Amino acid sequence: MTRCLVIVDVQNDFCPGGALAVEHGDEVAAAITSLLARGDVTYDHVVATQDFHIDPGSHFSREPDYVDSWPPHCRAGSYGALLHDALSTKRIEAVFRKGQYAAAYSGFEGSTSTVTAEGEEDAVGLADWLRDKGVDDVHVVGLATDHCVRATAADSAAAGFPTTVLLDLTAGIAPATVEAALEQLRAGGVRLVGEPLLPG
């Protein structure tokens, strides 16, 4: 089996003190770092996703509904968009940026960009990257359980990757949307392990 850990949106703006803080987000960052340091759990590959907004239209609002619109967050190039300091980036092989010009909750909407030997920019999406590496076991962790973790895990399963969400390494924004997310993921054939961190 070739197993990949997909770390979703563990960025400063989604952690306490950030523009769209998820309670316990910093604890999730530290717990993922601990997971990566464990000798008894092995990942062949580790990647991260990054919300990276330039002009995402109605995804940003001054009067957000916290369903389809949100306070401005993760602006490209800002401190808020950086991966959180408590997350060790040593093993991260690729970062998939998403949401530049529209809302993008799923890491499968993102792409990583590298420069080829010919000096050309080469963008690769997450599904192609995972297939290229022969990944057949995807573990998803990160922020937030009810939004970007949900969408990324759902797309992973829909793309045909056996997918597990390690809920202990996720934190949710609101109990009702977390419950709905878990229901959707179960129905989509995603394996759920543990319990998500919730506000309070």
Q: For binding to ligand VGL (CB under 6 A), which residues are involved?
A: 9, 14, 51, 70, 143-144, 147-148
Report the residue number, 39 or 78, with the smaller CB distance to ligand VGL: 78
Alpha carbon distance 187, 150 (integer Å): 12
Report the residue number, 101 or 134, with the smaller CB distance to ligand VGL: 101
Question: Smallest gap, in angstroms, from Cβ of residue 50 to ligand VGL?
Answer: 10
Q: Is the peptide bond before 144 cis (omega within 30 degrees of 0)?
A: yes
Which alpha helices (H) appear in 11-167, and where do they start and end?
25-37, 126-132, 150-158
State yes or no: is 15 an active-site residue. no
The helix or strand, by DSSP H or E, that contains position 98, with its residue range, turns out to be strand 94-98
State yes or no: is 148 an active-site residue. yes
Question: Smallest gap, in angstroms, from Cβ of residue 145 to ligand VGL?
Answer: 8
Question: Smallest gap, in angstroms, from Cβ of residue 118 to ligand VGL?
Answer: 34
Report the residue number, 65 or 118, with the smaller CB distance to ligand VGL: 65
State yes or no: is 90 an active-site residue. no
β partners of residue 49: 8, 96
Q: Which of 113, 112, 177 is nearest to 151 (CA)?
A: 177
Residues annotated as part of the active site: 9, 98, 148
